[in-house]
Structure 1
Amino acid sequence: MSDHHDDFSFHNLTPERIADALADVGVDPQSGLLALNSYENRVYQFIADDNRRYVAKFYRPARWSDAQILEEHQFTQELLDEEVPAVAPLKLAGATLHHYEGYRFAVFPSVGGRAVEPGDLDQLERIGRQIGRLHAVAKQRQFATRPNVSYHEYVTEALATLSTSSLLPNNLHDAFFAIAEPLANHLKQIDLNAFTQQRLHGDCHLGNMLLRDEQLMFVDFDDARTGPAIQDLWMMLAGDDRAERTLQLDVLLEGYQEFCDFDSKETQLIEPLRSFRIIHYMAWLARRWGDSAFQRAFPWFAEQRYWEQQVLTLKEQFAALQEPPIQLQPQY
Structure 2
Amino acid sequence: MPSAAARHPYETLTPDAVLDALASVGLYGDGRLLALSSYENRVYQVHLEDPYEGESVVVAKFYRPNRWTEGQILEEHDFAAELLQAEVPAVAPLAPQGRTLHRHGDFFFSVSPRRGGRAPELDDAEVLEWIGRYLARLHLVGGRRPFVLRPALDLASFGEEPRDWLLSHDAIPLDVQGDWERQCALALARIATALAASRDAGVRLLRLHGDCHPGNILWTPDTGPHFVDLDDARTGPAVQDLWMLLSGDRSQRQRQLGALVDGYEQLREFDRAELALIEPLRTLRLIHYSAWLARRWDDPAFPHAFPWFGSSDYWRGQVQMLEEQLEAMDEPALMV
TM-score band (shorter)? over 0.9
Q: Which residue of 2 aligns with 1:3?
A: none
Q: Distance in 2 between matches of 1:96 and 1:41?
A: 17
Report the CA distance between 1:131 and its aligned residue.
0.8
Q: Which residue of 2 aligns with 1:89?
A: 93
Report the CA distance between 1:324 and its aligned residue.
2.1
Q: Which residue identity lines up with residue 114 of structure 1 in the other structure?
A: R
* Equivalent in 202, 205, 209 of residue 197 of structure 1: 205
Unaligned regions of 5+ residues in structure 1, if any? Answer: 1-5
Q: Which residue of 1 aligns with 2:3?
A: none
Q: Which residue of 2 aligns with 1:231?
A: 240
Distance change in 2, residues 1:76/1:227 (3 Å) = same
* Equivalent in 257, 261, 275 of residue 267 of structure 1: 275
* Equivalent in 56, 79, 82 of residue 83 of structure 2: 79
Report the CA distance between 1:100 and its aligned residue.
1.2
* Equivalent in 92, 105, 110 of residue 114 of structure 2: 110
Corresponding residue SS for 1:88: coil
Q: Distance in 1 between matches of 2:25 and 2:159?
A: 40
Q: Which residue identity lines up with residue 315 of structure 1 in the other structure?
A: E
Q: Distance in 1 between matches of 2:42 and 2:85?
A: 27
Do the aligned partners of 1:149 and 1:225 also contact (CA within 8 Å) in 2? yes
Q: Distance in 2 between matches of 1:184 and 1:201?
A: 24
Do the aligned partners of 2:94 and 2:112 also contact (CA within 8 Å) in 1? yes
Q: Distance in 1 between matches of 2:180 and 2:271?
A: 35
* Equivalent in 88, 99, 102 of residue 103 of structure 2: 99
Report the CA distance between 1:165 and its aligned residue.
4.1
Corresponding residue SS for 1:300: coil
Q: Which residue identity lines up with residue 110 of structure 2 in the other structure?
A: A
Do the aligned partners of 2:175 and 2:312 also contact (CA within 8 Å) in 1? no
Q: Which residue identity lines up with residue 247 of structure 2 in the other structure?
A: A
Unaligned regions of 5+ residues in structure 2, if any? Answer: 1-5
Q: Given the alignment of the two structures, is residue 37 of structure 1 paired with residue 37 of structure 2, yes or no?
A: yes
* Equivalent in 277, 282, 294 of residue 290 of structure 2: 282
Do the aligned partners of 2:22 and 2:28 also contact (CA within 8 Å) in 1? yes
Listed as ranges, the matches of 1:180-191 within 5 Å are 180-189=184-193, 190-191=195-196
Do the aligned partners of 1:267 and 1:326 also contact (CA within 8 Å) in 2? yes
Per-residue CA deviations over 1:260-316 (Å, capped at 9, x if unaligned) read 111111111111101111111111101111111011111111333222211110000
Q: Which residue identity lines up with residue 81 of structure 2 in the other structure?
A: Q
Q: Which residue of 2 aligns with 1:210?
A: 218
Q: Given the alignment of the two structures, is residue 304 of structure 1 paired with residue 308 of structure 2, yes or no?
A: no
Report the CA distance between 1:252 and its aligned residue.
0.9
Q: Distance in 2 between matches of 1:251 and 1:111?
A: 26
Q: Which residue identity lines up with residue 231 of structure 1 in the other structure?
A: Q
Relative to the length of structure 2, the TM-score reads 0.92
Report the CA distance between 1:50 and its aligned residue.
2.0
Per-residue CA deviations over 1:27-72 (Å, capped at 9, x if unaligned) read 1000332110000001010100125111100000111111111111
Do the aligned partners of 1:8 and 1:61 also contact (CA within 8 Å) in 2? no
Relative to the length of structure 1, the TM-score reads 0.93
Q: Which residue of 2 aligns with 1:221?
A: 230
Distance change in 2, residues 1:227/1:90 (3 Å) = same
Per-residue CA deviations over 1:215-274 (Å, capped at 9, x if unaligned) read 211000000011110110111111122x33222212210100111111111111111101
Q: Distance in 2 between matches of 1:124 and 1:16?
A: 42
Q: Given the alignment of the two structures, is residue 245 of structure 1 paired with residue 253 of structure 2, yes or no?
A: yes
Corresponding residue SS for 1:33: strand
Report the CA distance between 1:110 and its aligned residue.
0.8
Q: Which residue identity lines up with residue 24 of structure 1 in the other structure?
A: S
Listed as ranges, the matches of 1:9-24 within 5 Å are 9-24=9-24
- CA RMSD in angstroms comes to 1.6
Q: Distance in 2 between matches of 1:7 and 1:276?
A: 31
Task: Tell which deviates more after alignment, 312-321 or 136-145.
Answer: 136-145
Q: Distance in 1 between matches of 2:121 and 2:298?
A: 33
